[in-house]
Every structure is written in C-alpha cells, then in structure tokens.
Amino acid sequence: MMFSAELIEKYKNFKGYTQDKQIVSDLEKCTKSNLSQIKKGERHLTPSQTMFLAEAIGMDTKEALLQLALEKSKTKEESDVWTDVIKKISAACIALTLCLGLAAETPTKGAIGRRRYSL
C-alpha cells in the first residue's frame, strides 16, 4: 500500500470514521474523486494534506513529508536517494538517542565512593 493511502487509513481509524466522505470534509482541496484516486495509487496527498493528517494522528510531520517525497519518486534513482536520506536521518536520530542515554547514565567523576564520615 502506498504511503498516502496508509496515512488516510490511519487517520480514518484514529478518528473512528466509517465513510470516506468524512475524511473529504476534513481535508482542504480534496474531493471524493481525489480520495478514491489516492487510495488506488493514482494520485498522492499534497504536502499540506500530509502535514494535516500526520499532525492529527501524532506522527512526525517531517517524517511524513519524507515518506511522501519517496512515494512521489518517479525513477529508481530518485527513490534510492530518498530512501538513503531517510536511512541517514533515522541512523542519526538513533545515534543521538543512544549518546543521550549513555550520557544520562554516566556518573560524574568522583561522585562514586565519596562518603562522609562523622565522629
């Protein structure tokens, strides 16, 4: 399934909607025909529609826009570049999280073994 269609389905489930016309009324510049074409993979969401849906379901809008760009890729080379960008960003985020986690667990020098004795 394409990213745009998946995002629409996640939004539909998140809102508890049962009909596509409910989604159409929430999205700007969207018709029933547009929505149908998006679900078939013939069209894509616009960046503003993608951001609206991502924000509504609590998804990172930057990630959503990257996924949209990947979906809109017209060539294999373009798709490979977007995939590489997404992987590098993900790896950088993981590395940063790991570093922050290790920094939080590392005791400060001299903190261990320092005791006060009273007479």
Q: At residue 62, what is the residue type?
A: K
**What CA–CA distance (Å, rounded) separates 110 from 114?**
7
How confident is the model over 2-25, as pLDDT tens digits?
999 999 999 999 999 999 999 999
**Percent of the chain clearing pLDDT 90 (strictly above):** 57
pTM greater than 0.75: no
**What CA–CA distance (Å, rounded) separates 110 from 36?**
65
**What CA–CA distance (Å, rounded) separates 106 from 92?**
21
CA torsion, points 33, 39, 41, 46, in degrees to nearest 10?
70
**What CA–CA distance (Å, rounded) separates 82 from 73?**
8
Where do the structural domains in the chain lie, given as residue ranges? 1-59, 73-106
How confident is the model over 52-81, as pLDDT tens digits?
999 999 999 999 999 999 999 889 998 899
